[in-house]
Amino acid sequence: MTTQEHTNPKSKDFIRTIIANDLSSGKHSTVTTRFPPEPNGFLHIGHAKSICLNFGVASENNGTCHLRFDDTNPSKEEEAYVEAIKTDVAWLGFNWGDNLFFASNYFEKLYSYAVELIKMGKAYVCDLSPDEMRTYRGTLTEPGKDSPYRNRSAEENLTLFEQMKAGEFADGSRVLRAKIDMSSGNINMRDPVLYRILRATHHRTGDTWCIYPMYDYTHCLSDAIEAITHSLCTLEFADHRPLYDWVLDTLKTPCHPQQIEFARLNLTYTVMSKRKLLQLVNEEYVSGWDDPRMLTISGLRRRGYTPASIRTFCDTIGLAKRESRVDMAVLENCIRNDLNDNAPRAMAVLKPLKVLITNYPEDQEEELVIANHPKNPEMGSRTVPFCREIYIEQDDFLEDPPKKFFRLAPGREVRLRAAYLVTCDEVIKDENGNIKELHCSYDPASRGGSAPDGRKVKGTLHWVSARHALQAEVRLYDRLFNIENPEIDKDVDFKTHLNPNSLEVLSECMLEPNLSTATSSDHFQFERLGYFCPDSKDSLPGKPVFNHTVTLRDTWDKVLKK
């Protein structure tokens, strides 16, 4: 799939307006953007916003978008994350073509730029300890103090920097700093660190380096090296923009990309930072990065979200310059709308109650034809077996029902979807008084579900033939956190807000037999229950395990959660 296939004309947000102006004024003739993940975790729905933006504006303008791994912190980064990120970006429907880059590919270049800065008197080796450096840096209200090492000669700095690279000093004992302004109102400009000493094996460069460039220094230069035109990032980098510009201006790089900030995505009922998601994984609150309750791309995929629904979501929320928290219901609506149109229907009984149809011949079986979609005949139909014993949902029967209960009750008649009208004659109980089974009788003349005499039957139940049922595990999910903003109080661990009931496993569900061949790329509406898909990890051939993707309606559904 190419990015071109799913670009639609969008109303122009502030970034698209800037880009359109740059093209019409001749400032740029092409658009080159980049998505720059750090391979220290899996991508989440927030990253999807950045991916859709960067790949989107590039393709809308026939430009290119680079996938660049920002791999400057070997102690936290892994090759496995690189592969997972590539899988996720491609799955979302975006194609970086030949434009796959790694900041680590620029380590040599970055080193020579640093040497240049030293020669210009714009960078120096500093021996302050991290604690001392913090004290010297000052605060938001007080200026910093110059480091005693600030006025080393370029020659001395060059020698020391070379020695740093050669591994002659201990980790953390020295750094290379930019020489900017210790009294700047912007703390990022108070002689920020450019290089640190760190003996850690890098996932690509191995042990070649024991000094690593810092993010702020690496990012702007990587953008410049790749001739990025518009460097789109989240708001927290606005205060770093003067440094971004300082590095490129001081080095007079031939290309000086424009950094533009937009608000990051926050969603209700979840946390979004990789550091926090990693805690949930490591401390086993979830089964992994791709746990279907996680708002990671891989979690959403496993949950049953489609790439189109995530792209629609990113279009829907738009771009803003102020942070806000988007309601999870907006995301759920996007997948619900997609699946409502595109998911075939199926019948599944999650909490089964046996029904014996006493006047249906014991050795008889029949195949009923049911449309796969109520509004789309192109989706065809399927046959579903029917016999004397069926399962209905426990919730669809009440012994002593209120007036408006239109489901089954003693003496009441209901429609079995696409099958027959049945009336409940007898309730069979076990020795403890629990309902074990219902005895019903059917109207043989009502095949297909309507009575020949036109009598009105309000309730329609889904059902599954007991003889043919596929017994399966179905996993129901609720929100991972039980408050809208789990990070609301900085003094309270966000994990105290985890919802202890976010996963419910139902292992005795009875499904229509057609579902035995379902695979993880399939999606279904289980009639009257919600949308479901086979789990990509735990399903076996012929024995799928189903995940609940989303409820049928925009309410945290009462049918499922009793």
Distance CA 360, CA 148 (A): 95
- Contact between 279 and ligand ATP by CB under 6 A: the answer reads no
- For ligand ATP, the closer of residues 46 and 144 by Cβ is 46
Number of residues interacting with ligand ATP: please give it, by CB under 6 A: 16
Distance CA 183, CA 190 (A): 7
Q: In what order do the strands lie in the sheet with 524-526?
A: 345-346, 524-526, 530-534, 546-550, 470-477, 503-511, 348-349
- Contact between 196 and ligand ATP by CB under 6 A: the answer reads no
Kindly state the helix (H) or strand (E) to which residue 474 belongs, with its residue range. Answer: strand 470-477
Distance CA 470, CA 207 (A): 54
Kindly state the helix (H) or strand (E) to which residue 133 belongs, with its residue range. Answer: helix 130-137
Q: How many CA atoms lie within 13 A of 331 on its CB side?
A: 26
For the question of residue 76 being annotated catalytic, the response is no
* Minimum distance, C-beta of residue 248 to ligand ATP, in the bound complex (Å): 18
Strands 524-526 and 530-534: antiparallel
- Contact between 46 and ligand ATP by CB under 6 A: the answer reads yes
- Contact between 272 and ligand ATP by CB under 6 A: the answer reads yes
Distance CA 40, CA 289 (A): 12
Number of Cβ atoms within 10 Å of the Cβ of 216: 19
Q: Is 502 annotated as a binding residue?
A: no
- Contact between 265 and ligand ATP by CB under 6 A: the answer reads yes
Which residue stretch of 271-279, 326-334, 418-426, 458-466 sits at the interface with ligand ATP (rule: CB under 6 A)? 271-279
Residue numbers 228-257 binding ligand ATP by CB under 6 A: 233-234
* Minimum distance, C-beta of residue 438 to ligand ATP, in the bound complex (Å): 51
Assign 3-class secondary structure to 305-361.
CCHHHHHHHHHHHCCCCCCEEECHHHHHHHHHHHHHHHCCEECEECCEEEEEECCCC
Distance CA 225, CA 45 (A): 29
CA 487 to centroid of chain Cα atoms: 18
Q: 152, 241, 274, 303: which one is catalytic?
A: 274
- For ligand ATP, the closer of residues 47 and 230 by Cβ is 47
Q: How many CA atoms lie within 13 A of 99 on its CB side?
A: 23
Q: Nearest to ligand ATP by Cβ — which residue?
A: 46
For the question of residue 177 being annotated catalytic, the response is no
* Options 137, 152, 177, 274; binder of ligand ATP; rule CB under 6 A: 274
- Contact between 37 and ligand ATP by CB under 6 A: the answer reads yes
CA-CA-CA-CA dihedral for 67, 73, 79, 83, to nearest 10 = -30
Number of Cβ atoms within 10 Å of the Cβ of 164: 20
Q: Is 558 annotated as a binding residue?
A: no
- For ligand ATP, the closer of residues 145 and 264 by Cβ is 264
Q: Is 230 annotated as a binding residue?
A: no
* Minimum distance, C-beta of residue 55 to ligand ATP, in the bound complex (Å): 12
* Options 28, 76, 264, 351; binder of ligand ATP; rule CB under 6 A: 264
Which residue stretch of 41-49, 168-176, 356-364, 486-494 sits at the interface with ligand ATP (rule: CB under 6 A)? 41-49
Q: 76, 86, 150, 264: which one is catalytic?
A: 264
- Contact between 317 and ligand ATP by CB under 6 A: the answer reads no
Among 478, 499, 497, smallest CA distance to 555 is for 478
- Contact between 137 and ligand ATP by CB under 6 A: the answer reads no
- Contact between 38 and ligand ATP by CB under 6 A: the answer reads yes
- For ligand ATP, the closer of residues 71 and 535 by Cβ is 71
Q: Is 321 annotated as a binding residue?
A: no
- Contact between 213 and ligand ATP by CB under 6 A: the answer reads no
Among 354, 373, 394, 387, smallest CA distance to 513 is for 387
| Contact string 55-74 vs ligand ATP (x = CB under 6 A) | ---------------x----
For the question of residue 264 being annotated catalytic, the response is yes
- Contact between 485 and ligand ATP by CB under 6 A: the answer reads no
Which residue stretch of 14-22, 45-53, 163-171, 493-501 sits at the interface with ligand ATP (rule: CB under 6 A)? 45-53
- Contact between 311 and ligand ATP by CB under 6 A: the answer reads no
Distance CA 131, CA 151 (A): 20
The Cα-based distances of 232 to 220, 256, 301, 519 in angstroms read 11, 13, 26, 38
Q: Going by C-beta distance under 8 Å and a sequence separation of 6 or more, which residues neighbour residue 126?
A: 133, 147, 149, 150, 174, 175, 176, 177, 191
- Contact between 93 and ligand ATP by CB under 6 A: the answer reads no
* Minimum distance, C-beta of residue 34 to ligand ATP, in the bound complex (Å): 8
Distance CA 391, CA 465 (A): 6
- Contact between 179 and ligand ATP by CB under 6 A: the answer reads no
- Contact between 197 and ligand ATP by CB under 6 A: the answer reads no
Binding residues: 38-40, 44-50, 70, 215, 234, 264-265, 272-274
Please give the residue ranges that form the binding site for ligand ATP (CB under 6 A). 36-38, 46-47, 49-50, 70, 233-234, 264-265, 272-275
Active site residues: 38, 264, 274
Instruction: Summarize the annotated binding site for ATP as residue ranges.
Output: 38-40, 44-50, 234, 264-265, 272-274
